[in-house]
Structure 1
Amino acid sequence: MKAVEVAQIGLQQVYEALIQGKERVVNGFLRQYETSAFKERLTESGETALMVAIKGGHEHIINNLVSLTPRELLALKDGSDNTALHAAAELDNVKAAQLLVNKNHELLNICNRLELLPIHLAAIRSHREMTSYLFSVGMKDEIHSTLLKNVADLALQLLDHNQKVAFGLQSPLELLAEDPYVFPSGTHYSIWESFFYTR
C-alpha cells in the first residue's frame, strides 16, 4: 500500500475493512495511527478496532490486533462499558475470548454498565461453549443472578460450587423456576410429541 493511500485511510474505511477482513487496510490504519490506533473509537457507540474486528470475525485480523494491543488497552470500554471480551462473549467467539484472556486475565472481572460480566452475556445468549470456557478459566467464585437461561446444568454446577449465589437478588434457582420448559413437567407436548417424549 502506498504512503499516500495510507494517509487517506478514514475511520469509516477502517470499520469496513475490519468487518470485511481487508488486512492491508487494517495494517495501513495501524501504521498511520501507531499506538493511538488501539484507542481510536470507530463507531458512535465507542467501539475500538478490536471490538469491530471481533464483530467481523476474521481470525487473522483479531489475532494480529490482540497481539499488537498493549495489555492494559484490551480493557478499554465502549459506550455501554463493554470490553472486547464482552463482545467476544456476546458473539460466541471462543477463539477471540481465549486470545484476550491469555493476554489479560483481568478482563474476566470487568462489568459493563448493566453490571454484567462477559460470562453473564454468554449465558444470557445461551452460548454453552463460551459460558463453559469463561467458567473454566476463573469465573467460579463471583457468578450471580443473571445466569443461565437454557443452560440449567451449568447453573447447577455454579450452585454446587458456591451456594452463596442461591441467596442473591435473583438466584439461579429462581431463574430456573421461572422457565417451565427447563423441567419436563412444565412442558406441554402435542399428542405426537407426548408419544415420543414420554416413553
Structure 2
Amino acid sequence: METRSASRSAAVSEVLDGDNYLVWSVQLRNYLMVHDLWDIVKATNEPPKSENDEAASKAWSRKNIMALHMIQISCGQRICFVISLITSAKIAWDTLEEICRIPKNVYEASNEESYVAWTNRLKTYFMDHYLWDIVEATTKPPMPEGDEIAFKAWSKKNALALYLIRESCGSNIFPFIGKINEAKKAWDTLAEKFKPVMVNIGLSQYSTFQMDIQEGNWDAANHFLSSLPEAVSAKISHRGSTALHIAIFAGHTNIVEELVMKMSEEDLKIKDKYGYTVLGCCALVGNIKMAKCIIEKCRILLRIENGDIKLIPVVVALSYNSKGIEMARYLYSETHLEDLMPEKSINGATFITRAIYAKAFDMALDLLERVPSLAIALDFTGMSPMEALARLSFAYPSGNQLIFWKQWIYDSEYHSLFTLPFKCGNWFHMFRSSWILEVID
C-alpha cells in the first residue's frame, strides 16, 4: 500500500526543468523524508549485499526503486531522459544537482554555430571536468550486473555528458539524437552526420552575400542580388541554407519580407541540409510575422514535413521551441485538419502530446474533440496523448487543473472509441486509458 501511494502522489509543484532546482529539491527531499526514503538518497555506505543479509538487501532495493521512481517522475521529459540509465536513486539525485549547477553559457545552443566550433567548445569542457573519457571510449560501457561500482560511476558521467550534448546542439540538430541515451553514441552520431567535408569552392562567391544577410545589411545584399539574381534561391552556406533561411534565424524580419517577394513558390519549398523549409525554421524561432509573410505566398508549406522526424510546422513549433505556444496557435489556425489525422502521420498525436507538455490544454482538447481517435494514436516517441496526460498529472498536487479533461474523457463521443475495439485495433491502449481515468480521479 505504501508503494502505491508513494508512486501516485504528487511530490513537487513543478517538474524539474533546470531553472527551478532549489524549490524542486526542497519539495522532493521533504516528500522522500515523509515516505522514509531519504536515507537511500543521502546514504554514505554501500548498500547491503544479498549474500550477507538477503532481507536487508531486498528492503534496500525496494526503497531504492521507490525513491528513483519519484525522482524520475518529478523531472521534465528531457531531464528525465538523460538519467534513464541510472539505477541508483543516490546517483540520480547527485547527478541532477550537478546538472543544474552547470552555467548555462556552457551549453547555450546556437543553430548557426559550426560543427567544428561546437565540438571544440564541448570537448574543452569535457576534458576540464573529466567527462571526455565517456565520449572517446573505445570499449562498451560496464553493465550493472557485472561491475556495479563501475556502472554507477559511468552512468553518472554519461548523464552529465549526454545532457550537455543534447542541450547545446541546437533545435534543428536535436532530432538526430533525441532518442539516444548514451553520450558516446550521441557524439558519434553527430560526428558522422556533420563532420567537415571538403569546402565547396562554389560557395565562396556567396560569402559576402551571406554575411550581409546575417548582419542585416539589406542594401548591400540587394545590390548583390541585382548582379546575380539566381542567388535568391541558391544554397549559400555549408548548412544548405538559402538567404531566407539565414535571415529567419538572424531575426531580420524586413529582409525576410524582401526575399519572400523575390522568391517563387518553388523557391520557398527548398529545404536546408537538415530537411527544414523556411516555414519550419519560422516555427523553430517563433516569429509569427515572418510566418504570415511566407504563408501568404506559399500555403502548401503548412503541410510539408521537416527534419528526419517529418514534422509539419505547427508540430515543430511545440516540439523544439519552449516559447512556441503562440506560434503554434497561429499555425494551428491555418493548418488543415486532414494533415493532423492519425491515419496520415504521427503529426496529430505529436501535436497533442507536445501541447499537453506545454500546458496548452485548449489546443490539445480542441483537436481531440475534432478527432477523438487521436487519444490513443502514438506520437513520434511512441507515446499516446492519454499516456502523456497521465504523466503530467503526477506534477500536480490537485486534479483541479485537469478537470476539463475528465469531462472530455467521460463524454459519449470518446466512449464510442471503446465500443469498437477491433476498429481501434489495440486492447492495450484501452486498458491503459481506463487506468488513466483512475489516475485523474
Which TM class, normalised by the smaller chain length?
0.7 to 0.9
Q: Residue 315 of structure 2 contacts residue 350 of structure 2 at CA under 8 Å; is this kept in 1? A: yes
Q: 1:107 aligns with which of 287, 295, 301?
A: 301
Equivalent residue runs for 1:1-199 within 5 Å: 10-34=205-229, 36-112=230-306, 113-124=308-319, 125-126=321-322, 127-143=324-340, 144-147=348-351, 148=354, 149-150=357-358, 151-169=360-378, 170-180=383-393, 183-185=396-398
What amino acid maps onto 1:175 in structure 2? Answer: A
Cα distance in 2 for residues equivalent to 1:40 and 1:18: 13
| Deviation for aligned residue 1:183 | 4.2
Partner SS state of residue 142, structure 1 = helix
Cα distance in 1 for residues equivalent to 2:370 and 2:325: 18
TM-score under structure 1 length normalisation: 0.80
What amino acid maps onto 1:114 in structure 2? Answer: I
| Deviation for aligned residue 1:182 | 6.2
- Partner of 2:125 in structure 1? none
Cα distance in 2 for residues equivalent to 1:86 and 1:93: 11
Q: Please, which moves more after superposition, 92-101 or 146-155?
A: 146-155
Distance 1:33 1:178, change over 3 A: farther
Q: Residue 349 of structure 2 contacts residue 385 of structure 2 at CA under 8 Å; is this kept in 1? A: yes
What amino acid maps onto 2:301 in structure 1? Answer: L
Cα distance in 1 for residues equivalent to 2:225 and 2:250: 17
Q: Please, which moves more after superposition, 112-121 or 81-90?
A: 112-121
Q: Residue 15 of structure 1 contacts residue 49 of structure 1 at CA under 8 Å; is this kept in 2? A: yes
Q: Please, which moves more after superposition, 64-73 or 37-46?
A: 37-46
Distance 1:120 1:184, change over 3 A: farther
User: Which structure has the greater CA radius of gyration?
Assistant: 2
| Deviation for aligned residue 1:60 | 1.3
TM-score under structure 2 length normalisation: 0.38
What amino acid maps onto 2:310 in structure 1? Answer: E
Distance 1:123 1:184, change over 3 A: farther
Cα distance in 2 for residues equivalent to 1:184 and 1:69: 52
Cα distance in 2 for residues equivalent to 1:182 and 1:77: 39
| Deviation for aligned residue 1:180 | 4.4
Partner SS state of residue 236, structure 2 = coil
Cα distance in 2 for residues equivalent to 1:179 and 1:41: 42
Cα distance in 2 for residues equivalent to 1:13 and 1:181: 53
| Deviation for aligned residue 1:131 | 0.3
Cα distance in 2 for residues equivalent to 1:84 and 1:76: 8
5+ long unaligned stretches in structure 2: 1-203, 341-347, 400-441
| Deviation for aligned residue 1:18 | 1.3
Cα distance in 2 for residues equivalent to 1:75 and 1:183: 43
Q: Please, which moves more after superposition, 74-83 or 161-170?
A: 161-170
Q: Residue 375 of structure 2 contacts residue 385 of structure 2 at CA under 8 Å; is this kept in 1? A: yes
Cα distance in 2 for residues equivalent to 1:177 and 1:132: 23
Q: Residue 152 of structure 1 contacts residue 176 of structure 1 at CA under 8 Å; is this kept in 2? A: no
Cα distance in 2 for residues equivalent to 1:51 and 1:154: 28
Distance 1:163 1:61, change over 3 A: same
Q: Please, which moves more after superposition, 177-186 or 90-99?
A: 177-186
What amino acid maps onto 2:391 in structure 1? Answer: E
Give the fraction of aligned pairs with identical amino acids, expressed as a percent.
32
Distance 1:110 1:183, change over 3 A: farther
What amino acid maps onto 2:387 in structure 1? Answer: E
| Deviation for aligned residue 1:51 | 0.6
What amino acid maps onto 2:325 in structure 1? Answer: R
| Deviation for aligned residue 1:175 | 2.7
Task: State the Cα RMSD in Å.
Answer: 2.0
| Cα-to-partner distance string for 1:38-66 (whole Å, 9 max, x where unaligned) | 32112212111111111111121111001
Q: Residue 176 of structure 1 contacts residue 182 of structure 1 at CA under 8 Å; is this kept in 2? A: no
| Cα-to-partner distance string for 1:156-178 (whole Å, 9 max, x where unaligned) | 12111211322322333333333
The count of aligned residue pairs is 177
Distance 1:28 1:155, change over 3 A: same
